[in-house]
Amino acid sequence: MIVTGGQVVAAWGDVSKTYHSHSTRKSFMSALYGIYRADGKIDTSLTLAKLGVKEKNTELTPQEKQATILDLLRSRSGIYLPAAGEIQVMRDARPQRGSHAPGTFWYYNNWDFNVLGTIFRQLTGADIFDALKTRIAEPIGMEDFDIRQASYDEAPESIHPGYWFRISARDFARFGHLYLRGGRWRDRQIVPKAWVDESITSYSNAEPSVTKSGYGLMWWIATRSDHGISVGSYTASGTGGQRLTVIPELDTVVVNLMNTDVDGPRIGSSDWDLLLGAILKARVFTATTPSRSR
């Protein structure tokens, strides 16, 4: 789907069909943290020591326990342990345990993201999926979000589960439009604007040779223009080709979802950049080509 100025410009496929969210779940979790921080339920400066966070079959070191919630949101905890939902490339890139102090090094770390789910439930007393439904999905009019399609992913190597749900393209586009409007939906502030601004600020140089981007609070941030994608655009990204890119400069949201339930085509970050570039070129062509009489 392509949405500009709140209007659907183009759409392909069944935009109401739900697909596995994969790692796009993390951007939704970030939004929940902003909402509940504003409610006074979450203090992002709290350390894992203060929170009493533990892990299966291992004791966190004194250094690891000094990681804060904010470090986890930025994927800079310095805690390198196996986690639910990891793919092989994440395992291969995992630094040696104890090699970096909290807050000093960026690594795309499912342990951080999953522990944020545990901490969220601990501090708020809310179920993640109930919170998604009542604090985000219902207020912005998501039509296809179904809590019965959500589940926690338990893994033998960790006590901190992943949290998966399914999302449709049209609902995903609504979430992107919410952020494009600074967390506001019509006359209601859903996610605090200050949190949106904080979330889409880059704090880390995230493997520039691969992604050409930075990393905010569980959002990927464009830090240099590529294929015409303007600096300051930001993306929720999931393995296989689940993508939501918000382009504030053009007041535009672009969504792609793949059916990862079955064997079939997949797209990566480079493919997504090429597709976005083609979409932007089409926009320029349409805007500059004189109309012809029929």
The domain limits of the chain are 2-285
- Give the C-alpha distances (Å, rounded to integers) separating 192 from 178, 213, 272: 11, 24, 29
Sign of the CA dihedral running 223, 217, 73, 46 = positive
Pairing mode of beta strands 188-189, 2-4: unpaired
CATH classification code of 2-285 = 3.40.710.10
Encode the chain (294 residues) as per-residue pLDDT tens digits. Answer: 999 999 999 999 999 999 999 999 999 999 999 999 999 999 999 999 999 999 999 999 999 999 999 999 999 999 999 999 998 989 999 999 999 999 999 999 999 999 999 999 999 999 999 999 999 999 999 999 999 999 999 999 999 999 999 999 999 999 999 999 999 999 999 999 999 999 999 999 986 544 568 999 999 999 988 788 899 999 999 999 999 999 999 999 999 999 999 999 999 988 999 999 999 988 866 666 655 433
Predicted TM-score (pTM) of this structure = 0.94
